[in-house]
Amino acid sequence: MDPNSFYARRKEQKQIIPFISKVGFPIVVTLYLLHRIESKLDVVVQSIQNLPERMKV
């Protein structure tokens, strides 16, 4: 694991805990899942955009 990503994650975790107490656990879980899905959707969109070029071959 990259040490920089470890420290970035720790910083994110420290910021998340006060956020949970303010808005509630369900909202935080929803935001977390949306964040995770966003990166996967970017890969799907890129694959769809590359599809016409790959079908030419």
pLDDT for the residue 45: 92
For 35-49, the pLDDT digits (tens) are: 889 888 988 999 999
Q: What is the pTM of this model?
A: 0.44
Of 37, 16, 42, the residue nearest 28 (C-alpha)? 16
Where does the pLDDT of residue 4 fall: very low under 50, low under 70, confident under 90, or very high at 90 and above?
low
pLDDT for the residue 28: 81
CA within 13 Å, CB half, 17: 5
For 5-55, the pLDDT digits (tens) are: 667 777 777 787 787 777 788 888 888 888 889 888 988 999 999 999 888
The domain spans of the chain are 3-56
